[in-house]
Amino acid sequence: MKIQSFLKSSRNLLDERIFGIAVILTLAFAISYAAPVAQKSQRAQSDYPATVCPAKLGDGTTTAFLPKYKSLVRHVTKKSVSFYKSRTASENISQSALLVDSNPATTFVLNNSGNGIGMAICESGNADQWFVGGSGGVTSKGQLDIVNSGLSPALVDITPYTSKHVLPVVSVSIPANSDRSVLVDALVPGDETVALHVVTRNGRVTSFLFDRRKKGLKALGSDYVNSQATPSQHLVIPAILQSSSGKVASTLRILVPGNLDANLKMTLNSGDGAFTPVGFDGRVVPHGKVFDIPLASLTSSTPMSVVLDSDQPVVASVLTQFGTSDFAWATPVLNFTNVSFNFTGLSPKFVFTGSAINIGVSWKSASGKSLHAKIKGSDIAFWSPSKSGLKTVTFTNLSKKPAFGGVILRNSTGAQIAYLPLTAGATLEKSSLPVVDVRSLSR
């Protein structure tokens, strides 16, 4: 009896252990299935790309106006890919192009060469650029500076347009982390009327066109031709200097790159009013050729803006000729929402155009005083800081309607002139990064 009782007790204990183990395993499996499984999702990352400034061109000085003191920069040379902190808010470009690290503010360059001045926006890599300006004539000393800031070789196709027809494509190879300069008169020999279409086939490339003229030993001026986006049926050139005395001559340069002729309408806005010049309402512009159309009869007591509307996509610019002392190229811009610059003591004049102009401006004077204002108007409006100079400035479009802006800079004597489009050198780029949630167990 004792043996039977012992065996029965042992079986009961074993059953209880087996039952306990089964309960524990069941609970473990239940928790495993009930717990959330590792989830894969995406997280957006936003940043501004680095921007490129052109190499030293011409026989003068080239200075990059950086967003701020201690900006990270490096020169585009084969010897180094390391960034360093700038010692001031401007950087002298002694030879090679300059790469400026990611920054929401815009960097631009000022070139003083050939008895003239010129300004250009430093841009991030652009695969498709149009340059409407320059010359291949006997006085031309112009250069197309092609900068490859990437770490692999790049290939660029250049399509030259002349006053007669389009020329064959010229392909140029640029080694990694370097730049190459191509003479404009080698691309379009002998033609005074030039436009260039530069397409990057591979690599991180940004191109700049520098127009410089010289007759014998006499310098006739210089300027950058800022690039513009793809051809459009609506172009706005916001800032053009015009004189009521007739000392300033303006010329419209236009190209219809498609296969159909264009019907063009021009509207001019100035402080004297808005109007369409005679002969520019429905003017037919043949395709495939570059045209220079003089605007000699125009006079204005204020700077002007030009609005072009066409039934075909076009590219265009306006040349301002200041006698034989200097010239400047005004190019189209896109509407802006918020742009910031550092002018480091310069005293430019700003011109805005739009149907309902309402611009908020915040700036620091040369003395470091912080100031705020609003710029309002219809069709066109002007703003100038004090003559003592301007440090940093930020413009914000407060209107729901598009606004376009440009900069006019003159030297102390007024004989040298340069334009700068009021546009961002780099736009915010977004990328998606995978994110794995490992905070819980997965089955």
Residue of higher predicted confidence among 342 and 77: 342
Task: Tell me what the mean pLDDT of segment 13-35 comes to.
Answer: 57
| Same-domain status, 9 and 57 | no
| Same-domain status, 8 and 154 | no
Is position 136 within any domain? yes
Task: Tell me what the mean pLDDT of segment 230-236 comes to.
Answer: 96
| Gap between the Cα atoms of 141 and 220, Å rounded | 10
Percent of the chain exceeding pLDDT 70 equals 85
Q: What three-state secondary structure class fits 295?
A: coil
Where b means 16+ CB within 10 Å and e means fewer, 278-305 reads: eebeeeebeebbbbebebeebebeebbb
Domain boundary among 174, 191, 215: 215
| Same-domain status, 117 and 25 | no
The 10s digit of each residue's pLDDT in 92-110 is: 998 899 999 988 889 999 9
- Which of 36-45, 253-262, 352-361 has the lowest average pLDDT? 36-45
Residues 6+ apart with CB under 8 A from 276: 265, 266, 267, 268
| Gap between the Cα atoms of 328 and 163, Å rounded | 20
Domain boundary among 157, 188, 215: 215
| Same-domain status, 7 and 119 | no
The 10s digit of each residue's pLDDT in 47-86 is: 778 999 999 998 889 999 999 989 999 999 877 788 999 9
Q: Mean pLDDT across the chain, nearest whole number?
A: 86
| Same-domain status, 59 and 202 | yes
Is position 228 within any domain? no
User: In this structure, are residues 98 and 64 in contact, taking their beta carbons and an 8 Å threshold?
Assistant: yes
Residues 6+ apart with CB under 8 A from 299: 242, 243, 244, 246
| Same-domain status, 118 and 27 | no
What is the per-residue pLDDT for 249? 86
What is the per-residue pLDDT for 213? 92
CATH code (residue 126) = 2.60.290.11
Is the pLDDT at 443 greater than 50, yes or no? no
Domain boundary among 215, 244, 259: 215
Is position 233 within any domain? no
Task: Tell me what the mean pLDDT of segment 394-409 comes to.
Answer: 95
**Residue numbers of the domain that contains 22:** 2-34
Residues 6+ apart with CB under 8 A from 201: 154, 155, 156, 157, 171
| Same-domain status, 96 and 190 | yes
CA 212 to each of CA 24, 59, 180, 293, 329: distance values in angstroms, whole numbers, following the listed order: 86, 10, 17, 21, 12
Is position 374 within any domain? no
Is position 85 within any domain? yes
pLDDT tier for residue 305 given thresholds of 50, 70 and 90: very high
User: In this structure, are residues 343 and 309 in contact, taking their beta carbons and an 8 Å threshold?
Assistant: no
What is the per-residue pLDDT for 316? 98
Is the pLDDT at 117 greater than 90, yes or no? yes
Phi, psi of 120 (to 5 degrees): -145, 145
Is the pLDDT at 46 greater than 80, yes or no? no
Is position 151 within any domain? yes
349-365 and 404-410 strand pairing: antiparallel
Structural tokens at position 439: 């905070």
Is the pLDDT at 40 greater than 90, yes or no? no
| Same-domain status, 93 and 202 | yes
User: In this structure, are residues 438 and 38 in contact, taking their beta carbons and an 8 Å threshold?
Assistant: yes
Percent of the chain exceeding pLDDT 90 equals 65
